[in-house]
């Protein structure tokens, strides 16, 4: 059995002011002091620095929720990988379905962003997932394969193990309609196969499930062999609830 450290990430989306982010970190740290998991907090851009400073000296890592692929330039409102690295941010969420849906993030852009993140030393957390219609039409694997092939096209096989992939079915995000552990396992195993076909050391890649994970359902989802962790939205806004998910991961 490959040794993959469980990975639990909190995607706060457009929630928490800087003061609220600080309060959360102070409440969370004592609750997860004994964890062996990789715990990653993804605050808004303006709270990144505060969270980075508050978690110093702990194993908690910090990720941005997006970045632009260019090194610099005339891209008003955007943030580069170098700007994140300067703050000691370690990872970045890319391709979240809300960014694909509301902000026109395309697979073509992701094909540039993922290698740009890796080149800058940021760990990409690449989100993929099908709509309810695609699942109902039996298209889940087709959608996942298309997204993975497109978004990872610019990544050398040797570098693929440095990418974290989050399987996030759109129908499960923020809806309370959590995928069953079997659905999560099937999709994560399929993703591992697809990445393996690209020549990657697939048994080293961490694949997360995301979609209405909470403390009460985390252990069952995380017990599946190909589900290496969770990307958590709503339940990650409360330190007690999020700590419960971390605890379920071990
Ligand atoms: C997410 O936005 O990545 C997510 C999984 O949200 P939620 O946990 O609220 O479904």
Alpha-carbon distance of 40 to 23, in angstroms, equals 16
Q: Which pLDDT belongs to residue 1?
A: 43
Instruction: Give pLDDT, residue 94.
Output: 98
pLDDT value at residue 133: 97
In a domain, 1, yes or no: no
Give the helix/strand (H/E) hosting 37. Answer: none
What is the model's pLDDT at position 200?
72
Q: Taking Cα atoms as reference points, which of 139, 226, 229, 138 lies closest to residue 188?
A: 226
Distance 98 CA to ligand 1 centre (A): 10
20 is catalytic: no
Q: Do the domain assignments include residue 42?
A: yes
What CATH number should be reported for the domain holding residue 177? 3.20.20.70
pTM above 0.95, yes or no: yes
State which residues form the domain around 181. 7-249
Tokens of 123: 């760990």
Q: Which atom of ligand 1 is nearest to the CA of 13?
A: 2
Q: Which residues line ligand 1 (CB under 6 A)?
A: 11, 168, 173-174, 210-213, 231-235
Q: 114 lies in a domain?
A: yes
pLDDT of residue 195: 95
Choose among 120, 123, 23, 27: nearest CA to 69.
120
Q: Clarify whether 168 is annotated catalytic.
A: yes
Give me the residues of the chain with pLDDT under 70, please: 1-2
Give the integer Cα–Cα distance in Å for 146 and 231. Answer: 21
**Number of domains the chain contains:** 1
Element (H, E) at 204: none
What pLDDT score does 130 carry?
98
- What pLDDT does residue 185 have? 98
Q: What is the pLDDT of residue 2?
A: 65
- Give the pLDDT of residue 244: 98
- 182 inside domain: yes
Annotated catalytic residue within 50, 69, 130, 168: 168
């Amino acid at each position: 059995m490959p040794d993959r450290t469980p990975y639990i990430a909190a995607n706060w989306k457009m929630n928490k002011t800087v003061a609220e982010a600080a309060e959360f970190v102070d409440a969370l740290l004592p609750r997860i002091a004994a964890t062996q998991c990789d715990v990653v907090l993804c605050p808004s851009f303006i709270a990144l620095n505060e969270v980075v400073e508050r978690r110093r000296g702990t194993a908690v890592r910090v990720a941005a929720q997006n970045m632009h692929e260019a090194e610099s330039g005339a891209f008003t409102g955007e943030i580069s990988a170098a700007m994140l690295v300067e703050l000691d941010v370690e990872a970045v969420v890319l391709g979240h379905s809300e960014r694909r849906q509301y902000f026109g993030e395309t697979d073509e852009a992701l094909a540039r962003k993922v290698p740009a993140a890796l080149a800058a030393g940021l760990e990409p957390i690449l989100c993929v997932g099908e709509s309810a219609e695609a699942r109902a039409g039996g298209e889940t694997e087709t959608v996942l394969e298309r997204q993975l092939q497109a978004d990872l096209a610019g990544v050398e096989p040797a570098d693929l193990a440095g990418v974290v992939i989050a399987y996030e079915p759109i129908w499960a995000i923020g809806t309370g309609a959590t995928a069953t552990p079997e659905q999560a396992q099937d999709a994560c195993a399929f993703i591992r196969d697809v990445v393996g076909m690209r020549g990657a050391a697939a048994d080293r890649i961490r694949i997360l499930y995301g979609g209405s994970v909470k403390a009460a359902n985390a252990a069952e989802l995380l017990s599946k062999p190909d589900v290496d962790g969770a990307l958590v939205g709503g339940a990650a806004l409360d330190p007690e609830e999020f700590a419960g998910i971390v605890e379920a991961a071990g």
